[in-house]
A and B are shown apart, each in its own frame.
Chain A
Amino acid sequence: MNFNATWLQNYLSDRLGRAVTVLSLESFPRGSSRETWFGAYRLGNLAPPVEIVLRADHPSGAVDPTPLEQEFFIYERLGGAGLPVARALWWEDDPAWAPRPFYIREKIEGSWNIPHYSDPAPEYDALRIAVAKAHVEALAKVHAVDWQALGFAERLPVPVDATQAARNYVDAAKARYNARDGESLPIFLEAGEWLVDHAPTAARVCLCKGTNGLGEEVFRDGKVVALSDWEEVSIGDPASDFAFMQGFAEPRLRDGKQIWGMEQALDHYREVTGVTIQLSSVRYYQVVRALNLVVMARNSAANIHAKSAVGHIRQAWTGTEVIHIAKQVLGMAMGLVPPLGPERFAELNQTVDTQ
């Protein structure tokens, strides 16, 4: 049994109790943590198409060691939180229907890409800054979510207070590391200790999105219409979301002056929320991010080792180059190896559809 249009038509017809015509089901090429499929179906000949997103682990397993069901749980609960988040529709793990467990959520019209955002021409500076500010405002809304009322403490580790927020990230990473039998990495332990030694106190304890920014969210007309990819969601320090941010806090120089960057993003966040996040905390959580990346990449390597016959090529890459770079970041933070230039990190995000 594989995910395909015929399979989806049978599944949805059974699930919805009426004949469904599936118009398409295509694998989304971006992202590599899990499989993402875009589909469309019609309930009747004259009914408008309904667009959906299907998420499942790769046949060899997900990059992210947290369970797929947790991702569904997050989407389901966030549906009532007033955030721009796609509505979770169905979770399925019945082997009679599921090649492997999956869930379906609604698809929000839009794209991960923002036209002209990456065009370096000065005429697009205003667009870049406006989009980045809008994203910071969206993060502020995430941070304001009442995560206790939504029951997130049932699934996510919660720090006892703001002084323990960073420690909570390290402990969670260690728990995921220890839960998977993989290659022994002494650097992981050494870095974990270093991070505990250098832990900042959080500006506040709140819901944090995890990976966010360009390539993670859905945009339409330059605005965030759906916050996606909640795999690394946490209860913790909002500084972590700035450290995990992609594409919206890179330094933008014009006439020798920095017109946008992390400093300006944090300033905007303070204007919106009244909360001050220290740049040093963001730098700290960039190291936490590398620690998490080591866990995920080591998980990928173990997946490929255990199921190479059905392994995903990107997991092989994640288990080789990505883990190496993540370890280098840990080594850099501890002063063990010389720093890598920013271009070395930028390379990792080069894709065939951005060339």
Chain B
Amino acid sequence: MILPTAEDVLQTIEATLETVLRPALSGTVEQSAAVSIGHLLRHVRLRLAREGQILLDNMSATRPLLAEIATFFSDIGEIDAAARIEAALARPSLPVGTYPTLTDLGGAAGLLRRELEVALARLQALRATHGEVPEYLRLRIAIRTWIAGQLQAEAELIEPAFSGRGPRR
């Protein structure tokens, strides 16, 4: 470990901003920028600490959901939609042999999320014809559960950094 850690440094920057720089700022524009920076520094600290695991958990939740949707598409003859998902799931998502950066993880999770978005659009288009099919309904509920999980995970990176921490701008 390199000491001080990245989190240590960020916390020190935030404290210096708050105790040294902000009291010296008199203009509204400068004060506004300073408080925004403080919030975002806390947010970045949280992301350094937690975002990697959140992204891994998200990918672990997205992959089986996509696989279930692909099976449904295949079962109802939506061959192209099924093939697109299967191809996406078959692609290696992270670099092999090197430690993935947060950008790598975010990119990999984002690609899966993109596939889920495309699949959801297709499911919505099929609602008129398949909206009463039990598996269709189950998948739509599963997607909503996935969305709820996403929101809750995202809140871990937002609430402690911003909520109750003063003016935003």
Name A's B-contacting residues (CB within 8 A): 27, 29, 32, 183-187, 189-190, 193, 313-314, 316-317, 320-321, 324, 327-328, 331, 334, 336-337, 344, 347-348, 350-355
Contact = CB atoms under 8 A, between A and B. Distances in A.
A327 B154 contact: yes
A187 B150 contact: yes
Contact of A29 (B28, B43, B117, B162): B28
B52 to A, nearest CB: 17
B33 A313 contact: yes
Contacts of B6: none
Interface stretch (B13-21, B34-42, B71-79, B85-93): B34-42
Interface residues of B, number: 39
Contact of B147 (A331, A347, A353): A331
- Chain B: interface secondary structure? helix
A287 to B, nearest CB: 15
B143 interface: yes
Interface of B: 28-29, 31-33, 35-37, 39-40, 43, 110, 113-114, 116-117, 120-121, 124, 127, 143-144, 146-148, 150-152, 154-155, 158, 161-164, 166-169
A317 B168 CA distance: 8
A190 B168 contact: no
Contacts of A29: 28-29, 32
A320 B148 contact: no
A188 B33 CA distance: 30
A352 B36 CA distance: 10
Given A183-B113, A321-B158, A337-B148, 12 more contacts: A32-B169, A189-B124, A190-B147, A316-B36, A317-B169, A321-B39, A321-B161, A324-B154, A347-B163, A351-B32, A351-B169, A352-B35
Contacts of B40: 313, 316-317, 320
Of the candidates B28, B110, B121, B146, the one having the most CB atoms from chain A within 10 angstroms of its own CB is: B28
B110 A190 contact: no
A347 B158 CA distance: 13
8 contacts: A187-B150, A313-B40, A314-B36, A321-B158, A324-B155, A328-B155, A331-B151, A336-B148
B166 A186 contact: no
Contacts of A187: 147, 150-151
A331 B154 CA distance: 13
A95 B100 CA distance: 43
A181 to B, nearest CB: 10
Contacts of B37: 313
Contacts of A352: 28, 31-32, 35, 167, 169
Of the candidates B33, B43, B113, B168, the one having the most CB atoms from chain A within 10 angstroms of its own CB is: B168
Nearest to B158: A324
B151 A337 contact: yes
